[in-house]
Amino acid sequence: MDRFQHYIDGQFEDGSASFDSLDPATGTPWATMPMATAGDVDRAVRAAHRAFVAGPWPALTASARGKLLMRLADLVQAAAPDLARLETRDTGKIIRETSAQIAYVAEYYRYYAGLADKIEGAHLPIDKPDMEVWLRREPVGVVAAIVPWNSQLFLSAVKLGPALAAGCTVVLKASEDGPAPLLAFARLVEQAGFPAGVVNILTGGPEAGVALTTHPKVAHIAFTGGPETARHIVRGSAENLAKVSLELGGKSPFIVFEDADLDSAANAQVSGIFAATGQSCVAGSRLLVQRSVKDAFLARLKAKAEAVAIGAPDRMETEVGPLCTARQRDRIAALIAQSLAAGAKLVTGGQAPEGAGFYFPPTILDCSEVPDAPALQQEFFGPVLSVVTFDTEEQALALANDTAFGLASGVFTRSLTRAHRMIRRIRAGVVWVNTYRAVSPIAPFGGHGLSGHGREGGMAAALDYTAVKTVWLRTSDDPIPDPFVMR
């Protein structure tokens, strides 16, 4: 089997322990992965801290940091086909999606390469005559970046890019589910010429996660994952009082009004829920459709869902591949069973096929008569769409906001005034109008509530990895008066 290593302080090394990674398409082991212990994490964080306070990295100009990021972007683009094959093999994500996504990841590094020397301070028009006061933006320190297995190179780029542009150093923890592409990405970091310790990449389970997020030398924790793990991280951050940014899950409303282009909306809905086998934090998993067009719209979706090509993820013709893990498949099946028992109606799909691999078909549940069905409140993280109907705009808004999550949303209507009303009142970090799943390094991304806080992407993300230092400079040559001499 293939064998992967950690990347700590500029060196590739085996973990203190190891585990086998399973191919989701077959359910069989294909590679051996290192398993980080608390000791491994401690060495990585200390290496990152040394690199932050001394050596070549803090001496680099912002422009020089940008050039390193630009070099990394070029290497990612050149290696995209190989990284895509690794991600497909280790996570089951289809090759047509990993290929396109990883090629675009290079644009995130290019964007932050360009921002590195544009993180500016400010001069303050202070109210004291003999003072000059200005603000410096300085890197916060060591960043603990934790990403899940899905879209991991993208989710790493939105953390690494701004953190490195700002001058921080990073310990990146890949998920123990499917870590191969990130461990391979470490080779590109080395080739780009980043000094030892600036970027460290390892993988492991809860022991590694706890050790990383509670480490006294970690200044910022950037986490993408589920709310339950996020709660542990927030509690653990009390140990080091690190700044925490969280990009969590979603139960995103996909709202279709009767005046929408139904064919266009159907294509967007299929992409929004069945792409990546539904394993996306922004999956449009709650369809809110106006009653007058429900039957026509569901007929389109049912036909598209049943025509989806399910198969081996390494084949370009495959449109839906396996889920990443068997436990995820089993959880989805259990949630569907609970929803059906509560009164939801199965439109299509709903049952895992026989045979090897962690496959689950595109599934549609009509929950119009069961507003409290589990399918409408819990994130499946799989190819399952839950449907409810509405009659008025107010009802659509109430349904859209009836969730503890608040990450993404979609609105399909030809009415410009209605679109603006919905944009103002939907409680979500992202609102897509007549489109879905569009992303760019230029646009901030993040959510509210159980979907987390903080933003990734854009200048806002780069500033998030900085701290403001206020500098006071007295310009008078006169001695400071003795404060204890009465005048």
Continuous segment of H or E residues that includes residue 19? strand 17-23
Residue 225 has which token pair?
A: 């994952």
247 a catalytic residue = yes
In eight-state DSSP terms, residue 278 is G
Other C-beta atoms lying within 10 Å of the C-beta of residue 350: 19
Question: ∠ CA(77), CA(83), CA(84), 5° rounding?
Answer: 95
Calpha distance 394→396 (Å, rounded):
5
According to DSSP, the β-strands at 142-146 and 218-224 are: parallel
In eight-state DSSP terms, residue 67 is H
Are residues 165 and 116 in contact, defined by beta-carbon separation less than 8 angstroms? yes
The distance in angstroms from the start CA to the end CA of the chain is 84
Q: What is the DSSP string of 222-239?
A: EEES-HHHHHHHHHHTTT
Phi, psi of 389 (to 5 degrees): -110, 160
Which entry of 87, 97, 176, 247 is annotated as an active-site residue?
247
3-state SS assignment for residue 221 = strand
Calpha distance 72→191 (Å, rounded):
8
Residue 247 has which token pair?
A: 């990009």
Half-sphere exposure of 439 (CA within 13 A, CB side): 22
Kindly tell me the burial class for residue 235, based on how many C-beta atoms sit within 10 Å of its own C-beta (0-12, 13-18, 19 or more): exposed
Strands (E), 121-272: 122-124, 131-139, 142-146, 169-174, 199-203, 218-224, 243-247, 253-256
Q: Which residues are catalytic?
A: 247
